[in-house]
Structure 1
């Protein structure tokens, strides 16, 4: 009921008051929109000098500077990592089933023989 009364009152007041554009009307927005600038601020270069590390980020790479093969990724290392990863996954799967797997690595604090138990209790 309050909504109906408020609408009726605003309609009656709009009849007796001079026309004023609403907040979302084109006239209101056009009056409040700033005028476009005469010049484009991005047309001029930046007034302060750009640091070298920022300039290096946006400088395109030259073909002579980029090696086609990365020197730190060697095929021999990749093959060894695949085998090591396979062994680690096998050890994790067996551990999930409750079985011990004689998994060891270079520099491990325990040898491979620590997993073999010959004594039964």
Structure 2
């Protein structure tokens, strides 16, 4: 911890004293006012926003089958295991319909 007091004083001086402004001395911001007679046509208005929730259609939840993805994944895992075991010549108790094909 060499020169702790001097470093602290320098840090506080840099923190609390105003800058010199030397970096921006040559840069001047030039603001040009818009012309009095504007020649461009005004932009066209955007179409009215249509909310997807404002449709007049009513969906019947009872008409569709609710699929739980975790249950479908579990059933697919069981089917794949049964097929793998059948490929090795082992018979497993389970479903007799695998991928829409009746198996014996």
Q: Same fold (TM over 0.5)?
A: no
User: Quick one: higher RCO (CA 8 Å, sep 6+), 1 or 2?
Assistant: 2
TM-score w.r.t. structure 1 length?
A: 0.32
More helix by share: 1
